[in-house]
Amino acid sequence: MASRIATAIHEHRLLPGTKLGEDRLASIFNTSRARVREVLARMAREQMVELFPQRGAFVAKPSIDQALDVFEARRLIEPGVVQRLVKHVDNTKIRRLQAHLKAERDARKNADKRATVRLSGEFHVLLAELAGNSALLRSMRELSTLTCLTISLYESAVNTCCLVDEHEAVVNAIIAGNSEQAEQLMLKHLDHIQGSLRLEADADGTDLEEILGDI
């Protein structure tokens, strides 16, 4: 259940703020409400879901401040991820990276928007997995989900997404064993993602939750 909900979030089919009713989920997944509550509580700990007393569970809606925190954390973590991967890369890992890039290119060629957004987030999780540090992987999973929710909320263009060319450039630097270049390319890539979002609280991007939520 958690992985199907997560996939729907990563494919932008379930949008931030969507109510996740216990009864409906119990019937969709043919399980008990107790089990649904347990899964939602776990997803809340991973910040994917927000729980409100009386009102229930909703797909999380990161505020602008939370979104900025996410990008700051990614800038600290992801250069470390690629640095570690350059040290531990082998032929099997290179094949997996190349297979992923091919899947991303195919999704884009087929104009499969759902697969494109999901795969572009998964690229970053794959790097953390291949780098071989389980704590980094866990953090990257959470940050990737929060980024995905942030993109749904604050994208300025219809097609905000990782650019597969930039992913390719990072992979090439990793394969070449050029750690410094891979780290720089990753930081530039994160700048581009963040730059395509409206994270200034200007007229258009007014964050009502932030302004009115905590009175």
What is the contact surface with Zn ion in residues (CB under 5 A)?
Answer: 162
DSSP type of residue 15: P
Q: Residue 59 CB, nearest distance to Zn ion (Å)?
A: 22
| CB-nearer residue toward Zn ion: 25 or 144 | 144
C-beta closer to Zn ion: residue 97 or 162 = 162
Spatial contact of 46 and 52, defined as CB atoms under 8 Å apart: no
**How many angstroms separate the CA atoms of 81 and 130, rounded?**
9
- The DSSP output letter for 56 is E
**Least spacing, CB of residue 210 vs Zn ion, in Å:** 27
| CB closer to Zn ion out of 107 and 162 | 162
Q: Which residue lies nearer to Zn ion by CB, 162 or 171?
A: 162
| Residue 59 contacts residue 51 (beta carbons within 8 Å) | no
Q: At its nearest, how many Å lie between Zn ion and the CB of residue 74? A: 10
End-to-end alpha carbon distance in the chain:
35
Alpha-carbon span 19 to 130, nearest angstrom:
35
**Which residue, 153 or 162, is less far from Zn ion as judged by CB?**
162
Q: How far is the CB of 136 from Zn ion (least distance, A)?
A: 16
Quote the least distance from Cβ 137 to Zn ion, whole Å: 16
Measure the CA–CA gap between 13 and 40, rounded to whole angstroms. 18
Q: Which two tokens stand for residue 24?
A: 């409906």
Which residue number has the CB closest to Zn ion? Answer: 162
Select from 145, 106, 101, 150 the least CA-distant residue to 127.
Answer: 101
Give CA–CA dist 105/11, Å, rounded.
16
**Least distance (Å) between residue 120 CB and Zn ion:** 5
| Contact between residue 84 and residue 131 where contact means Cβ atoms under 8 Å apart | yes
Of residues 14 and 194, the one with the C-beta less far from Zn ion: 194
- Rounded (10°) angle between helices 2-10 and 134-154: 50
